[in-house]
Chain A
Amino acid sequence: MPTMAKKTQQPPKTFEDAIQELEKILAEIESGGVGLEESLLRYERGTFLVQHCRGVLAQAEKQIEQITKGPDGTPTTQPLEEKSE
């Protein structure tokens, strides 16, 4: 059910994974190797991925973080207080 699938859509871990999945979906639909129902499901997923990718690209500028080492020597990150130089 396409409507149900929409609710359970999970975004891929990375942008690269999203693009790869999109390419795969396109190849499957374009080759006609999957049935019509399945094609619709893939299309649903594809549009979700496109929205996801656009969302990633529209994100606001991130603050730069800095790696500092904790007392036990484990590196952690914290926002970098940027002083203009």
Chain B
Amino acid sequence: MTSFFDFQAELNARKAAARRPRASSDVASASPVAGEAPLSVSQLTAQIDKVLKAGLPAVLHVRGEVSNFKFHTASGHAYFTLKDPDACINCVMFKTDFSRVKFQPGDGMELLVTGRVSVYAQRGSYQFYVSRMEPLGQGALELAFRQLCEKLEAEGLFAQERKKPIPLFPNRIALVTSRQTAALQDMLKVLRRFPWLNLVLYHVPVQGDGAAIQIAQAIRDLHEHGRGLGIDLIILGRGGGSLEDLWPFNEEVVARAMVACDIPIITGIGHEIDVSIADLVADHHAHTPTEAAQGATTRWRTAVDDVDALSSRLGNALRSRVQEARSSLVNIERHEFFRRPTDIVEELRQRLDDLQQGMDLALEDQVSDARHKLSTLALRLAECTPRHLLARKLQQLAAAEIRLQQHHPRQLLALKTQQVDAMQARLDLAVRSRLGQTRSRLELLDRHLNAVGPQQVLARGYTITTFKKGGVILRSKSQVKGGERLITHVVDGEVESIAEDPDQPTLF
């Protein structure tokens, strides 16, 4: 591409020259001071570009530290500044070049870049057009390997827990490798020892540009359709080579496809010492294609012996099981029951006898019960004959007659008379007793009356005076008027007198 840019720059210069047909072809000697026509900015820029190119080799190698690294996603170009303590230069790396860079450049990284210097006319600046870059002090691939390693490791893609178990007896194995390689022959040499194995080749280029993409695609195809085709194991193999040769197996696309694949993958890539990213993400990692094929068939190697061993174990197991059954049968036969088989029958017979006897007794009880009931019923039945009924009715009739006689009028009259007499006697008694009571109560009252009456007071010599008119008792002298007739009561009679007027002296 470097040549392309040179060509492009030259073309630009030519165009610029063509735009000013009358100017001297020796622009370097032109001088405005000398009175020549002034240059346009474009003309000046073109001349500067030319001077720069003329004074510098077409291909330059520059070393410096990266800063301000920017990757422009839309265009795919990378922009950065390369600097040392005293100077710096803007750098650009176009998509086509940058896509070949395996490692990831970053700020602070010491780089060796290859390219050319040119003027960026639109901005009036010069810059370094990088066509290749390499880290200083180590190879670009080593750095790229380390960087991808760290990235995938951080994602846990190398973790043992993530890895799928390799089937012990793979039946149909897909070999992902190139048809033309010794690696394929190495693997077939091992695998053909197991003639029953189904082998499927998925041909892919194993080196060069685009190999990684195709290997990744092969693994994705197997992930999607492999199970449908009966494939239960994948071997990814490649013979030895330089780091560049083996590079497809260090590409991220391959690693991602392997991680996503649900069929287990064994890798056998390169020689003993080579370890690729593919090895690190593989479910099992062998050092060479031959070892990978051996790893896939570890258990198959002993399969014949294993089946023989299982077969004889099976025979032994059944024999001992039968032996076991036989000996437990012998144990059962030795049991008492089998030695005296009639004992149990005799025992049962005895029990039968007992039951029989009990049953007889129970039957007898029931019969006598029934007999008793029958005789009771017979008695009751006998009482129901016409003669018995007649006798009972006659009896009832006689009783009724006696009760009827008790209700005859004569009887009733006598009864009532008796009752009246009794009541008469009770009445007499009551009257007499009532009379006696009254009499004695009267005497008692008389005595009381005498005790509280005036007669007693009079007997003791007191008198009572009353007005003759009206009979009112004289209680105060103010009641008395002269000439009034008074009666004085004494114990044995009355004395009549006439009162004098106490306020009027006697006139006579």
Q: Which residues of A are at the interface with B, using a C-beta cutoff of 8 A? A: 14-16, 19, 22-23, 25-26, 29-30, 32, 36, 39-40, 43, 46-47, 50, 53-54, 56-62, 64-67, 69, 74-77, 80, 85
Q: How far is the CB of A47 from chain B (nearest CB, A)?
A: 7
The verdict on A36 contacting B196 (CB below 8 Å), with A16-B169, A26-B317, A77-B229 known, is: no
Kindly list chain A residues whose C-beta atoms are within 8 Å of the C-beta of B84.
none
Cα A22 to Cα B309 in complex, Å, equals: 11
Interface 9-residue window, one of B20-28, B197-205, B248-256, B334-342: B197-205
The verdict on A30 contacting B199 (CB below 8 Å), with A57-B304, A61-B192 known, is: no
Cα A40 to Cα B319 in complex, Å, equals: 10
Cα A53 to Cα B314 in complex, Å, equals: 14
A15–B303 touching, CB < 8 Å:
yes
B196–A29 touching, CB < 8 Å:
no
Kindly list chain A residues whose C-beta atoms are within 8 Å of the C-beta of B167.
14, 16
- B480 an interface residue at 8 Å Cβ cutoff? no
B171–A61 touching, CB < 8 Å:
no
Q: Find B199's partner among A14, A53, A64 (CB 8 Å cutoff).
A: A64
Q: How far is the CB of B327 from chain A (nearest CB, A)?
A: 12
B311–A59 touching, CB < 8 Å:
no
Kindly list chain A residues whose C-beta atoms are within 8 Å of the C-beta of B320.
30
B202–A39 touching, CB < 8 Å:
no
A22–B318 touching, CB < 8 Å:
no
For the complex of A and B, 4 pairs with smallest distance between CB atoms: A61-B195, A59-B196, A29-B317, A15-B169
B304–A22 touching, CB < 8 Å:
no
**B322-342 Cβ-contact flags toward A at 8 Å (1 or 0):** 101100000000000000000
A46–B304 touching, CB < 8 Å:
no
B200–A65 touching, CB < 8 Å:
yes
Cα A57 to Cα B195 in complex, Å, equals: 8
B314–A15 touching, CB < 8 Å:
no
Kindly list chain B residues whose C-beta atoms are within 8 Å of the C-beta of A23.
310
Number of interface residues of B (CB under 8 A): 39
B200–A66 touching, CB < 8 Å:
yes
The verdict on A53 contacting B202 (CB below 8 Å), with A15-B169, A29-B317, A85-B180 known, is: no
A53–B307 touching, CB < 8 Å:
yes
Q: How far is the CB of A58 from chain B (nearest CB, A)?
A: 8
- In the complex formed, the residue of B with least CB distance to A66 is B201
The verdict on A32 contacting B321 (CB below 8 Å), with A47-B314, A67-B200 known, is: yes
Kindly list chain B residues whose C-beta atoms are within 8 Å of the C-beta of A47.
311, 314
Q: Which residues of B are at the interface with A, using a C-beta cutoff of 8 A? A: 167-169, 171, 174, 180, 185, 188, 192, 195-203, 218, 221-222, 225, 229, 232, 303-304, 306-307, 310-311, 313-314, 317-318, 320-322, 324-325
Cα A25 to Cα B316 in complex, Å, equals: 13
B195–A46 touching, CB < 8 Å:
no
The 17 listed contacts between A and B (C-beta, < 8 Å) are A14-B171, A26-B310, A26-B314, A29-B317, A36-B325, A39-B321, A53-B303, A56-B196, A57-B303, A57-B304, A59-B195, A62-B196, A62-B198, A67-B201, A74-B225, A75-B221, A76-B229
Cα A25 to Cα B317 in complex, Å, equals: 10
Q: How far is the CB of A79 from chain B (nearest CB, A)?
A: 10
Kindly list chain B residues whose C-beta atoms are within 8 Å of the C-beta of A19.
168-169, 306-307, 310
Cα A43 to Cα B319 in complex, Å, equals: 10
Kindly list chain A residues whose C-beta atoms are within 8 Å of the C-beta of B313.
26, 30
A46–B221 touching, CB < 8 Å:
no
Kindly list chain A residues whose C-beta atoms are within 8 Å of the C-beta of B322.
36, 39
Q: How far is the CB of B209 from chain A (nearest CB, A)?
A: 21
Q: Find A67's partner among B171, B174, B192 (CB 8 Å cutoff).
A: B174
Q: Find A65's partner among B188, B198, B307 (CB 8 Å cutoff).
A: B198
A85–B199 touching, CB < 8 Å:
no
- In the complex formed, the residue of A with least CB distance to B195 is A61
B197–A62 touching, CB < 8 Å:
yes
Q: How far is the CB of A68 from chain B (nearest CB, A)?
A: 9
Cα A46 to Cα B195 in complex, Å, equals: 24
Kindly list chain A residues whose C-beta atoms are within 8 Å of the C-beta of B200.
64-67, 77
A50–B169 touching, CB < 8 Å:
no
Cα A62 to Cα B188 in complex, Å, equals: 12
Q: How far is the CB of B176 from chain A (nearest CB, A)?
A: 9
Known: A23-B310, A65-B200. 14 other contacts (CB 8 A): A14-B169, A15-B169, A16-B167, A16-B168, A16-B169, A19-B168, A36-B321, A36-B322, A39-B318, A50-B311, A61-B192, A62-B196, A75-B202, A75-B221
The verdict on A75 contacting B169 (CB below 8 Å), with A19-B310, A39-B318 known, is: no
B321–A75 touching, CB < 8 Å:
no
Kindly list chain A residues whose C-beta atoms are within 8 Å of the C-beta of B304.
57
The verdict on A25 contacting B314 (CB below 8 Å), with A19-B169, A62-B198 known, is: yes
B314–A65 touching, CB < 8 Å:
no
